[in-house]
């Protein structure tokens, strides 16, 4: 059994100091590849350096919508350069987050559109962070995203109806441990309708430890197994089959070497 953690933040301080043991525990739990996601250029740079040390550790490079108001043209240039690194397999996370207002919708929209352009020019798939902004997210993808090869909505927290719209557009959907939370009925209903071939899993660690490990303050890739088992059961798919399908989906989405292990 092999799983891929398609969205983690291994460069964040909660995990970075102890990253060798984090990776060891992850492998012991069957999680054999990782996409570590940058949220600004300092993190993107750290992520590339970390990925150079570990096999099967890859990078998504992006600037989080929270930081939109600080972003300069030089930052975007730097991001585009980083995207050329062979360990960078995606652009993101990017998108819109209207839950927090660290940056205005206009600033977030501009940064999101810039990421879409970089993803298209670099021919890389895109990781979307979208919270309380579904229609605007889809709008911008319709307007500026038509040349982007592949798109995933990460940490999906929208409804079944919204999941259907995402799937109709040919996009992918990824779930974190939040799907296991008691109050996440809506997310579970959405997960039920996502075909396993369009579904990926992630920890988004160090945040959001899944049940029954929610008390573990610092989430890590080893805990992905709980979300995987939960989703396999929810979707009535044997665990081995679920693991294999989502791992194949992830390898295809990020164009990872098929022999990755
Ligand atoms: Zn996110
Ligand atoms: Zn994240």
Model pTM?
0.97
Interval between CA 25 and ligand 1 midpoint (Å): 24
Tokens of 141: 């993808």
**For 67-95, how does the pLDDT look when each residue is reduced to its tens digit (9 = 90+)?**
999 999 999 999 999 999 999 999 999 99
Is the model's pLDDT at 260 over the cut of 70?
no
CA angle in degrees (0–180, nearest 5) for 250-31-225: 95
Ligand nearest to the CA of 94: 1
If you measure from the C-alpha of residue 202 to the centroid of ligand 2, how many angstroms do you get, rounded to a whole number?
A: 9
CA of 132 to the centre of ligand 1 (A): 12
How many C-beta neighbours within 10 Å does residue 101 have?
10
Assess whether pLDDT exceeds 90 at residue 43: yes
Give 238 Cα–ligand 1 centroid separation in angstroms: 29
pLDDT band at 261 (very low <50, low <70, confident <90, very high): very low
Structure tokens at 213: 């490990």
- Write down the residue that tokens 């995933």 correspond to: 152
What tokens were used for 156?
């999906």
CA of 154 to the centre of ligand 2 (A): 8
Using CA atoms, how far residue 6 sits from 75, 76, 102, 111, 149, in Å, is 24, 23, 26, 23, 17
Q: Ligand nearest 10 Cα, by number? A: 2
pLDDT of residue 140: 97
Torsion angle of C-alpha atoms 91, 11, 219, 178, degrees rounded to 10: -20
Ligand 2 centre distance from Cα of residue 9 (Å): 7
| Residue 168 CB contacts under 8 Å (≥ 6 apart), including other chains | none
- CA of residue 37 to ligand 2 center, whole Å: 6
For the stretch 95-104, pLDDT in tens is: 999 999 899 9
pLDDT of residue 255: 97
Å from CA of 153 to ligand 2 middle: 11
Give tens-digit pLDDT for 116-140. 999 999 999 999 999 999 999 999 9
Interval between CA 39 and ligand 1 midpoint (Å): 9
87, 172, 90, 93: which is closest to 125 by C-alpha?
90
The residue written with tokens 């995402």 in the block is: 166
Buried b (16+ CB within 10 A) or exposed e, 29-68: bbbbbbbbbbbbbebbbbbbebbeebebbbbbbbbbbbbb
C-alpha 96 – ligand 1 centre gap (Å): 10
Cα of 7 to ligand 1 centre, how many Å? 9
Interatomic CA distance for residues 196 and 21, integer angstroms = 30
| Ligand 2 centroid, distance to 156 Cα (angstroms) | 11
Ligand 1 mean position to 134 CA, how many Å? 14
Task: Give 155 Cα–ligand 1 centroid separation in angstroms.
Answer: 6
Output the average pLDDT for the chain: 96
Q: How far apart are CA 208 and CA 6, in angstroms?
A: 15
Q: Which of 140, 179, 136, 124 is nearest to 156 (CA)?
A: 179
Distance from the alpha carbon of residue 129 to the mean position of ligand 1, in angstroms:
5
> Which of 244, 240, 220, 241 lies closest to 34, judged by CA?
220
């Amino acid at each position: 059994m092999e799983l891929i953690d398609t969205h983690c933040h291994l460069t964040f301080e909660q995990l970075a100091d102890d990253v060798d043991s984090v990776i060891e525990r992850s492998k012991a739990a069957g999680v054999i590849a990782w996409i570590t996601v940058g949220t600004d250029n300092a993190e993107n740079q750290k992520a590339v350096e970390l990925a150079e040390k570990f096999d099967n550790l890859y990078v998504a490079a992006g600037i989080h919508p929270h930081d939109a108001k600080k972003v300069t043209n030089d930052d975007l240039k730097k991001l585009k350069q980083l995207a050329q690194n062979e360990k960078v397999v995606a652009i993101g996370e990017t998108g819109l987050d209207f839950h927090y207002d660290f940056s205005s919708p206009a600033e977030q929209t501009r940064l999101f559109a810039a990421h879409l352009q970089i993803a298209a020019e670099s021919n890389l798939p895109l990781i979307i962070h979208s919270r309380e902004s579904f229609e605007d997210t889809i709008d911008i993808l319709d307007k500026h995203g038509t040349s982007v090869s592949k798109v995933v909505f990460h940490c999906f927290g929208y409804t079944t109806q919204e999941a259907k719209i995402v799937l109709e557009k040919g996009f992918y959907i990824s779930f974190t441990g939040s799907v296991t939370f008691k109050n996440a009925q809506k997310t579970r209903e959405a997960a039920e309708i996502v075909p396993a071939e369009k579904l990926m899993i992630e920890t988004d660690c160090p945040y959001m430890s899944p049940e029954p490990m929610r008390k573990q303050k610092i989430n890590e890739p080893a805990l992905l197994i709980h979300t995987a088992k939960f989703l396999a059961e929810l979707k009535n798919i044997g665990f081995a089959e679920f693991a294999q399908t989502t791992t194949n989906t992830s390898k295809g989405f990020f164009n990872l070497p098929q022999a990755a292990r």
